[in-house]
Structure 1
Amino acid sequence: MSQSSSVHYRTFLLLLVAVTIAFGWLLWPFYGAVFWGTILAILFAPLQRRLVPRLGGRRNLAALITLMLVLLLVILPLVVISGSLVREGANLYQSIKSGQINFGAYFQQAIAALPPTVHDMLARFDVADIPSLQEKLSAGAMQASQFLATQALNIGQDTFQFVISFGIMLYLLFFLLRDGPQLSARLRRAVPLGDTHKQHLFRKFTTVVRATVKGNVAVAAAQGALGGIIFSILSIQGALLWGVIMGFLSLLPAIGAGLIWAPVAVYFLLTGATVKGIVLIAFGVLVIGMVDNVLRPILVGKDTKMPDYVVLISTLGGMALFGLNGFVIGPLIAALFMASWDLFSPAAGEPAALSEDRRADGD
Structure 2
Amino acid sequence: MDTKLESEAAVESRLTASFLEALIRAGLLLALVMICYKVFSPFLVLMVWALILAVTLYPLHQSIARKMGGRQGLAATTLVLIGLILIVTPCAVLMNSLGDSVRGLVENVQSNSVEIPPPRESVAKWPVIGPKVHAAWTQAHNDFPGLVKSLQPKIGDLAKTALGFVAAIGGGLLMFLASFIVAGIIMAFGRSGEAGCLAIFNRIIGPEHGGEFARLSTATIRAVAQGVIGVAFIQAIIIGICLLICGVPWAGVLSAIVLVLGIAQVPAVIVTLPAIIYIWSSGTYGTGAAVAYSVLLFVAGMADNVLKPLMLGRGVDAPMPIILLGALGGMATGGILGMFVGATLLALGYQIFMSWVSNNSNKESVAASTPRGPAPAAGP
TM-score by length of 1: 0.70
User: Which residue number corresponds to residue 346 of structure 1?
Assistant: 358
Instruction: Pick closer, same or farther for the CA change 1:261–1:76 going to 2, 3 Å.
Output: closer
The answer to whether structure 1 residue 184 and structure 2 residue 198 are counterparts is no
In 2: Cα distance, 1:242 partner to 1:317 partner: 21
Tell me, yes or no, if the aligned pair for 1:55 and 1:62 is still in contact at 8 Å.
yes
Q: How far is the alpha carbon of 1:320 from its aligned partner?
A: 0.9
User: Which residue number corresponds to residue 271 of structure 2?
Assistant: 260
Q: How far is the alpha carbon of 1:71 from its aligned partner?
A: 2.8
Q: How far is the alpha carbon of 1:5 from its aligned partner?
A: 7.7
Tell me, yes or no, if the aligned pair for 1:90 and 1:145 is still in contact at 8 Å.
no
Percentage of pairs with the same residue: 22
In 1: Cα distance, 2:338 partner to 2:275 partner: 29
Q: How far is the alpha carbon of 1:193 from its aligned partner?
A: 0.7
Code of the aligned partner of 2:47: V
Q: How far is the alpha carbon of 1:22 from its aligned partner?
A: 2.5
Q: How far is the alpha carbon of 1:155 from its aligned partner?
A: 9.2
In 1: Cα distance, 2:71 partner to 2:282 partner: 64
Selected match of 1:48 from 61, 68, 82: 61
The answer to whether structure 1 residue 247 and structure 2 residue 259 are counterparts is yes
Instruction: Pick closer, same or farther for the CA change 1:235–1:201 going to 2, 3 Å.
Output: same
In 2: Cα distance, 1:299 partner to 1:226 partner: 16
Selected match of 2:345 from 333, 341, 344: 333
Q: How far is the alpha carbon of 1:307 from its aligned partner?
A: 2.0
TM-score by length of 2: 0.67
In 2: Cα distance, 1:264 partner to 1:166 partner: 29
Question: Which runs of structure 2 are paired with 1:1-363 in the superposition (5 Å)?
Answer: 15-52=28-65, 54-75=67-88, 77-102=90-115, 105-106=116-117, 108-109=118-119, 112-114=120-122, 119-120=124-125, 122=127, 125=128, 127-129=130-132, 130-132=134-136, 147-149=161-163, 169=179, 172-191=182-201, 192-228=204-240, 231-232=243-244, 235-254=247-266, 256-263=267-274, 283=295, 286-302=298-314, 304-346=316-358, 351-352=362-363
Q: How far is the alpha carbon of 1:319 from its aligned partner?
A: 0.9
Higher mean displacement: 265-274 or 226-235: 265-274
Structural RMSD (CA): 4.6
Q: How far is the alpha carbon of 1:339 from its aligned partner?
A: 2.0
In 1: Cα distance, 2:44 partner to 2:131 partner: 49
**Residue-pair matches, total:** 337
Tell me, yes or no, if the aligned pair for 2:272 and 2:297 is still in contact at 8 Å.
no
Higher mean displacement: 285-294 or 179-188: 285-294
Code of the aligned partner of 1:246: V
Code of the aligned partner of 1:187: C
Tell me, yes or no, if the aligned pair for 1:37 and 1:170 is still in contact at 8 Å.
yes
In 1: Cα distance, 2:181 partner to 2:237 partner: 31
**2:303 aligned counterpart, secondary structure:** helix
Q: How far is the alpha carbon of 1:325 from its aligned partner?
A: 1.7
Choose 1 or 2 for highest CA Rg: 2
In 2: Cα distance, 1:315 partner to 1:257 partner: 16
Code of the aligned partner of 1:89: V
Q: How far is the alpha carbon of 1:75 from its aligned partner?
A: 4.2
In 2: Cα distance, 1:226 partner to 1:247 partner: 11
Deviations 1:19-78 (A, max 9, x none): 334322212223343233323322332233344455555443343333333333334543
User: Which residue number corresponds to residue 361 of structure 1?
Assistant: none
Tell me, yes or no, if the aligned pair for 2:51 and 2:186 is still in contact at 8 Å.
yes
Instruction: Pick closer, same or farther for the CA change 1:69–1:237 going to 2, 3 Å.
Output: closer
In 1: Cα distance, 2:273 partner to 2:180 partner: 40
Instruction: Pick closer, same or farther for the CA change 1:180–1:5 going to 2, 3 Å.
Output: farther
**1:302 aligned counterpart, secondary structure:** coil
In 2: Cα distance, 1:17 partner to 1:283 partner: 61
Instruction: Pick closer, same or farther for the CA change 1:342–1:55 going to 2, 3 Å.
Output: same
In 2: Cα distance, 1:284 partner to 1:162 partner: 27
In 2: Cα distance, 1:216 partner to 1:42 partner: 15
In 1: Cα distance, 2:173 partner to 2:234 partner: 27
Tell me, yes or no, if the aligned pair for 1:48 and 1:66 is still in contact at 8 Å.
yes
Tell me, yes or no, if the aligned pair for 2:242 and 2:297 is still in contact at 8 Å.
no
